[in-house]
């Protein structure tokens, strides 16, 4: 895997992935997410991909997935994450709680590369709720 990062002035940077996708990051929080915000979102999106895929394979009728992410950082420099919590809100028709629980656990323990990588130095926790949809 490769990527390129180009400075765009002030503290704004444009990343380009190997596949040509673009991502803006801003150290000043003016025009884009900060690098640490991007790490938090990356953990949520990586886990969401897993959870959605597992639930679809289990033939669960999901209509929406939202992840509320919270991260606590050290008070000293470097201000690394000490704790990250992912709370999944899975909406659908008669979605079985046992399937959501299993999907979240599999993502956390086996599949989500980002969260598993972070868990070596960060306390990563997960929770979920199932919301009945129409």
Reported as a single tens digit per residue, the pLDDT across 64-108 is 999 999 999 999 999 999 999 999 999 999 999 999 999 999 999
Kindly report the pTM of this predicted structure: 0.93
Which residue shows structure tokens 């993502």? 107
pLDDT in the model for residue 134: 74
Domain boundaries of the chain, sorted by first residue: 1-32, 35-132
The CATH code belonging to domain 1-32 is 2.20.25
The secondary structure element, H or E, covering residue 108 is none
Report d(CA 92, CA 86) in Å as an integer: 19
Q: What percent of the chain has pLDDT over 90?
A: 99
pLDDT at 47 over 90: yes
pLDDT tier, 45 (very low <50, low <70, confident <90, very high otherwise): very high
> Mean of the pLDDT values across residues 109-133?
96
- Residue 50 reports pLDDT greater than 80: yes
Mean pLDDT of the chain: 97
In this prediction, residue 59 carries a pLDDT of 98
Dihedral sign (CA 103, 55, 57, 39): negative
| Ramachandran class of 101: left when φ > 0, alpha when ψ lies in -120 to 50, beta otherwise | alpha
Tell me what the mean pLDDT of segment 44-51 comes to: 98
Phi, psi dihedral angles at 78 (to 5 degrees): -80, 140
- Alpha-carbon distances, residue 64 vs 53, 58, 113 (angstroms): 13, 16, 23
In this prediction, residues 37-43 reach a mean pLDDT of: 97
Q: CATH number of 35-132: 3.30.70.360, 1.10.8.60, 3.40.1180.10, 3.30.300.20?
A: 3.30.300.20
Q: Alpha-carbon distance 39 to 81, whole Å? A: 10
Which SS3 state, helix, strand or coil, does residue 12 take? strand
Rounded Cα–Cα distance for residues 56 and 71 (Å): 28
């Amino acid at each position: 895997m490769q990527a390129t990062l180009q400075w765009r002035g002030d503290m704004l940077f444009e990343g380009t992935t190997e596949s040509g996708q673009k991502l803006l990051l801003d150290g000043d929080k003016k025009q884009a997410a900060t690098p640490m915000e991007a790490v938090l979102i990356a953990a949520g999106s990586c886990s969401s991909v897993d959870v959605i895929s597992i639930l679809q394979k289990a033939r669960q009728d999901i209509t929406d997935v939202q992840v509320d992410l919270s991260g606590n950082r050290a008070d000293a420099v470097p201000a690394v994450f000490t704790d990250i919590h992912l709370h999944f809100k899975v909406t659908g028709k008669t979605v079985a709680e046992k399937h959501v629980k299993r999907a979240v656990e599999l993502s956390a323990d086996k599949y989500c590369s980002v969260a598993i990588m972070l868990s070596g130095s960060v306390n990563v926790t997960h929770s979920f709720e199932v919301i009945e949809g129409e």
